[in-house]
Structure 1
Amino acid sequence: MEAMFRAVGIAPEAAFAILLGAAVFASMLAVLLPGMKKNTLKTRMKAVALEREEIRARERARLSREDKGGRASLRNVEEYGFAAKVVDALNLRKALVDEKTTAKLKIAGYRNSRHLTLFLFARASLALAFLTIACFYIYGLGVLENQIFSVKLLIVAGVAYLGFYLPVMVVNNAAQKRQKSVQLAWPDALDLMLICVEAGNSVEAAFRRVSEEIGVQSIPLAEELVLTCAELSYLPDRKAAYDNLAQRTGLEGVKAVTTALIQAERYGTPLGSALRTMAQENRDMRMNAAEKKAASLPPKLTVPMIVFFLPVLFAVILGPAIINIFGVM
């Protein structure tokens, strides 16, 4: 080891000092990083608490307006910044927003109208920014100067469309991650809800208790349960609260459970048996998804094995024989 260090021009004492310093630095990182990590659950729960207060204020305003015979005008004071001005000036809400877009934003966790405004502004601004950059490189700096005008125009349009579609990709990715987190924790949440209901708690108390316990496993599910608990307390129709939960998650398992909860409240059927059945069904669905993913591994591993493993295997097996043949010749 000492000879190796001297061969590269490093004294053994200096090398030992460097390795010791690196080890001390790694140990300090291992001790300090857990303490420096932000508490994501508390931050997200604060945001959900603000949204719960908004629901409460909105429902109180609605009740006040109904008490006054509908004569009072309710004005929602919203932040009207530069992004909102651009969206209203270009009329992007009418051009780009549909039910599928709003549903995808809700599934991704972006439920406020401001989130929709920022999403539309990001699509327009990124498309313009990517278009400007592409024009600068192709027409300003002369990149691809040997190509014809139609090819350059096609590349510029493709880059601009990439910027226009990039926020959609980000939202779809966030929605998939959120759905995966909710789907993995949903059967356990149903088991906890079943325990709370059989212990004599109401549905609202069960949702509140489960949201506190399930946050360690899935923060998105804890957020949705807290919002559902708030809507059950403040909305005049409990069915709307359950329907909103199904829409915000976009999962068939959650939709089936909300349908069972609606029927249990409407017809007086036992809630415990329904939750027990739904928990088992969702657990079976999670197991089927894991088995499906495991069954798809052999076809996916075929190409990497052919490209990476077989050449190395052939080299190891045939290498000595080829060396002996050339040695004899």
Structure 2
Amino acid sequence: MEATFLGIRVELIISVLAFVGAFATVAAMAVPFLARDARAARLRTITKAREELSRQQVAELEQKRARWRPQRSATVLQNIVDKLNLEKLIAPKGLKQKLVQAGYRQPFAPKVYVGLRVLLMGVFLFGGFLYTTVLVQEEMLFLMKILIMFGAGAVGFYLPQILLTNAITKRRNEMTLSFPDALDLLVISSEAGLSIEAAFHRVTSEIEESSPALSEEFGLTTAELSFLGDRRRAYTNFADRTGLASAKALAVTLLQSEKYGTSISNALKVLSQENRDERMSRAERKAAALPAQLTVPMIVFFLPVLFVVILGPAGLRISDM
């Protein structure tokens, strides 16, 4: 007579339990290998995304290099500077960094800048000579002629430096205005799980319309993070190219987060809040300075009209008497 348990044969129960045990053993042995395969697949996906990002950055850099190719006039200036060895004689200290901060990062930019200073000095000097010898009909002292000529030459020599300083200031103001928004986008991207390279690339595309200069700097930093082995150098280059105190603070924050293993998103949140507060304080300072700035225009343009309106009828009556 066959043995049964709850109406089911014992041999069937033993067979089912043996099958379940064997299946569980095989599954327990296979799960780690499947997990490794999934991890390898994720790593392959990340590697492909990194390679695609690198290709995009290379293509963008190639397009920018095509725009930076020197024109014929720039080539002529370079040849003049090289033959006369003027770059070592009159190039100011830190010229390359200033040109980069102004947005002129072409390799031939320093030579063109020096050649332009010499060319403008000669043009203004010749213009001063024509003014003192041809255009002015009345007699002029020889010393006055020399002063006018050399003064015109000095104006031509220092004019590119003034324009360069103005370009740096204008570009820096544009980046300062948009930098808090860029930090907010970095915070959102880091909290979404993006890597710092992907976050920088995302910020590059998002702020391209509002601030082309800052978008360009973020794009170059993304390329350097992809190709350079030293992240410290990439962050330092970003701070040097922009010349912003906020960019230096961002570079220090990212370096400290990677060095000590702290949360990048939390550090970026604090930095973003500080930048927003600083932008608000700048706006409040400008608003508070408006009454003092409007005093002189009101005195010059408003009070004379007011005096004419008030005293005009009285003056007319007195003149009619």
TM-score bracket, normalised by the shorter chain, equals: 0.7 to 0.9
Structure with the bigger RCO (C-alpha within 8 Å, sep 6+) is: 1
**Large movers: runs of 4+ above 3 Å:** 45-48, 51-54, 324-327
Structure 1 residue 230 displacement after superposition: 0.3
Hey, what does 1:161 align to over in structure 2? Answer: 154
Hey, what does 1:76 align to over in structure 2? Answer: none
Counterparts of 1:300 and 1:219 in 2: how far apart (Å)? 31
- Is structure 2 residue 274 aligned with structure 1 residue 277? no
Residue from 236, 249, 267 that aligns with 1:256? 249
- Is structure 2 residue 259 aligned with structure 1 residue 247? no
Structure 1 residue 53 displacement after superposition: 7.4
Alignment of 1:302-321 (within 5 A): 302-321=295-314
Structure 1 residue 81 displacement after superposition: 2.9
Contact 2:121 2:155 in 1 (8 A): yes
Contact 2:78 2:111 in 1 (8 A): yes
Q: Which moved more, 1:188-197 or 1:289-298?
A: 289-298
- Is structure 2 residue 61 aligned with structure 1 residue 49? yes
Unaligned runs of 5+ in 2: 1-56, 67-71
Hey, what does 2:112 align to over in structure 1? Answer: 118
Find the residue that maps to 1:269 and give its secondary structure.
coil
Structure 1 residue 113 displacement after superposition: 1.7
Hey, what does 2:9 align to over in structure 1? Answer: none
Percent of aligned pairs with the same amino acid? 47
Contact 2:87 2:114 in 1 (8 A): yes
Contact 1:192 1:210 in 2 (8 A): yes
Contact 1:107 1:175 in 2 (8 A): yes
Find the residue that maps to 1:151 and give its secondary structure.
helix
Q: Given the superposition, is the C-alpha separation of residues 100 and 134 from structure 1 closer, same or farther in structure 2, using an over 3 Å criterion?
A: same
Contact 2:58 2:223 in 1 (8 A): no
Unaligned runs of 5+ in 1: 1-44, 55-78
User: Which residue identity does 1:259 align to in structure 2?
Assistant: V
Q: Given the superposition, is the C-alpha separation of residues 204 and 52 from structure 1 closer, same or farther in structure 2, using an over 3 Å criterion?
A: farther
Q: Given the superposition, is the C-alpha separation of residues 267 and 288 from structure 1 closer, same or farther in structure 2, using an over 3 Å criterion?
A: same
How big is each residue's C-alpha offset from its partner over 1:33-88, in whole Å with a ceiling of 9 and x where there is no partner? Answer: xxxxxxxxxxxx9995327779xxxxxxxxxxxxxxxxxxxxxxxx9932221111
Give the RMSD, CA atoms, in angstroms.
Answer: 2.3
User: Which residue identity does 1:195 align to in structure 2?
Assistant: I
Structure 1 residue 98 displacement after superposition: 4.3
Residue from 61, 79, 103 that aligns with 2:97? 103
Q: Given the superposition, is the C-alpha separation of residues 236 and 260 from structure 1 closer, same or farther in structure 2, using an over 3 Å criterion?
A: same
TM-score by length of 2: 0.75
Say how many residue pairs are matched: 259
TM-score by length of 1: 0.73
How big is each residue's C-alpha offset from its partner over 1:228-271, in whole Å with a ceiling of 9 and x where there is no partner? Answer: 00011111211111111111111111111111111111221110
- Is structure 2 residue 142 aligned with structure 1 residue 130? no
